[in-house]
Amino acid sequence: MPRSSHPLRSDRIAILGAGPCGLACANELQRLGHRAWVLLEAAPAPGGLASSVVDAAGFTWDLGGHVVFSHFGEFDRLLAELFTADELLHHDRSSYVRFRDRWVPYPFQHHLRHLPAEDAAACVHDLLLACQRREELPAGADFATWLQAMYGSGLVERFFSPYNSKIWATAPEQMASSWVAERIAPVSAEEILAAFCGTARPARRWGPNATFAFPARGGTGEIWRRLAARLDGGLRTAARAVAVDPASHTVTLADGERIGFDHLVATGPLDQLAAMTSGAPQAVRAAAGQLRHTSVAMVGLGYQAPTTDERSWLYFPQQDVPFYRATNFSKYAPANVPDANPQAFSAWMTETSMLPGTHLNTYGLVHDCDQAVRRHGLVPEHAPLASAHLEVIEYAYPVPTLGRDAALAEVVPWMEARGIYPRGRFGTWRYEIGNMDHAVKMGIDIARRLVNGAAEELLAPAPGVAAVAGGQA
């Protein structure tokens, strides 16, 4: 059995996945002087979900929307080590929701005075009723019930239900509400009434990403390319794991090579990990099979038209727009367009959510995204399309379903008892700790735990998941 409390310096640590979590884990092991590690990445290059690509026309695209902000000093220090001050661009978030014929500032529920009078009156009326009844919300309520209790029918019908159904490709009734902590902005009756009476102060900039940074060149993936370059060997790309045997402490790669480990940090999808781990009981496999996720089609649209829009990103709850979010990617960094020339080009990165296995009409999706961008005035109606780039992210976001925590309680303790530590966005399957800074913190924490026996600071046990020796599950 692997030594989880007081491991030896010679213990072999294998890491699956060179995304932010896996790279941070390897970097921290190296910093701590632990040399017996290997980092295995299935793709040809590191970065995982935080990678960036450059298309044939010279536009840079991320694999979905990423911005750099942080809850953790370790992440801040890492960025400071990787970038000089002038290599990161800093922005104040400017986000809006498209509602009927207008743009409503984000968060939507903080700006009801911008709605048409009839919609505003309905939302305020129902919100005030909800505020009086919030104490009646039952413990463990599903997401739909939680939304009704927090915001009332007016807001739910006009924004929360259509938008969340669209982004999650899942009905809110099928989702839990335990994940919402800092993901959905709260609102009070006093704030709403003060806004309508004209006595309110300017709306506060809510959320941890109210200000954010972005690499001046290379997209988000530049962070992880630089971090990978710091590693003194041990990173292997195009090395896809196909089997894990906890009994013999080996990982088998697609080419048949077997790699031994004493501890395995697995940052890929937990359902795939369970499926390829030999000896996993049927209960563990079945629980992992209940975990749900979305896929996202990222359509990057580059236009031969100047970048004039000053907004950061925009939300689209309506069904006649295929994407749920459009990001002003040439605003993030001029180098995201050809020749770093935003006076000649603009770039909009759109994200369309779907359930895994959904048939995708790629030509139709690109056409519909382009038409929606033009129809809603993000670019001039007749701006020449210079590039249309499609990336399908099979595992985009873990869905916090009603049965998620019970499934994790079945799978995670079994894995950890055998020296296998699921970490990262899809290792933990917890969207609420699914940002890049969370992933880096998890990678650093598990490295410290395995080398020094230190407790992990970020991960509290999921409901029903017991702590294990040397830290928490």
Q: Which of 127-136, 303-312, 422-431 is the least confident region?
A: 127-136
Backbone angles phi, psi at 350, to 5 degrees: -105, 150
Cβ–Cβ under 8 Å, residues 344 and 330: no
Q: pLDDT averaged over the chain?
A: 90
Cβ–Cβ under 8 Å, residues 430 and 378: no
Residue 276 has pLDDT above 70, yes or no: yes
How many CA atoms are closer than 13 Å to the CA of 86, on its beta-carbon side?
A: 0
- Percentages of the chain per state (helix, strand, coil), in multiples of 5: 35, 20, 40
Question: What integer pLDDT is reported at residue 405 of this predicted model?
Answer: 96
Question: What integer pLDDT is reported at residue 2 of this predicted model?
Answer: 43
CATH hierarchy code of domain 293-399: 3.90.660.20
Give CA angle at 360 (354, 144), nearest 5°: 15
pLDDT mean over 210-227:
94
**d(C-alpha 364, C-alpha 367), whole Å:** 5
**Bridge partners, residue 259, by sequence:** 251
pLDDT single digits (tens) 393-409: 999 999 999 999 999 99
Q: What percent of the chain has pLDDT over 90?
A: 79
Residue 456 has pLDDT above 70, yes or no: yes
Packing angle, helices 117-133 and 143-155, rounded to 10: 140
- Domain locations in the chain? 13-50+222-291+401-452, 109-197, 293-399
Question: What integer pLDDT is reported at residue 182 of this predicted model?
Answer: 54
**d(C-alpha 210, C-alpha 313), whole Å:** 12
pLDDT bracket for residue 139 (50, 70, 90): confident
Residue 168 has pLDDT above 70, yes or no: yes
pLDDT single digits (tens) 364-392: 999 999 999 999 999 999 999 999 999 99
Q: Which of 9-13, 128-132, 192-196, 233-237 is the least confident region?
A: 192-196
Residue 458 has pLDDT above 60, yes or no: yes
Q: Is the peptide bond preceding residue 107 cis, with omega within 30 degrees of 0? A: yes
How many CA atoms are closer than 13 Å to the CA of 252, on its beta-carbon side?
A: 13
Residue 43 has pLDDT above 60, yes or no: yes
DSSP for 53-85, written as a single string: EE-TTS-EEESS---B--S-HHHHHHHHHH--G
Burial degree of 354 (CB within 10 A; 0-12, 13-18, 19+)? middle
Question: What integer pLDDT is reported at residue 206 of this predicted model?
Answer: 53
Stated pTM of the model: 0.91
Cβ–Cβ under 8 Å, residues 183 and 432: yes
- Residue 383 neighbours by CB under 8 Å, 6+ apart: 303, 304, 305, 346, 374
**d(C-alpha 87, C-alpha 455), whole Å:** 34
pLDDT mean over 249-278:
98
**d(C-alpha 433, C-alpha 71), whole Å:** 11
pLDDT mean over 79-95:
93
Residue 186 has pLDDT above 70, yes or no: no
Rg value, the chain, Cα:
23
**d(C-alpha 310, C-alpha 173), whole Å:** 36
Fold of the 13-50+222-291+401-452 domain: FAD/NAD(P)-binding domain (3.50.50)
Residue 280 has pLDDT above 70, yes or no: yes
Q: Which of 33-47, 189-203, 388-402 is the least confident region?
A: 189-203
Closest CA to 438 of 69, 120, 39: 69
Question: What integer pLDDT is reported at residue 205 of this predicted model?
Answer: 60
Residue 454 has pLDDT above 60, yes or no: yes
Question: What integer pLDDT is reported at residue 472 of this predicted model?
Answer: 24
pLDDT mean over 63-91:
89
pLDDT mean over 42-59:
97
The DSSP secondary-structure symbol of 159 reads: I
pLDDT bracket for residue 250 (50, 70, 90): very high
Q: What percent of the chain has pLDDT over 70?
A: 90
Cβ–Cβ under 8 Å, residues 27 and 20: no
CATH hierarchy code of domain 109-197: 1.10.3110
pLDDT mean over 10-38:
96
Question: What integer pLDDT is reported at residue 179 of this predicted model?
Answer: 87
Same fold for the pair 109-197 and 293-399: no
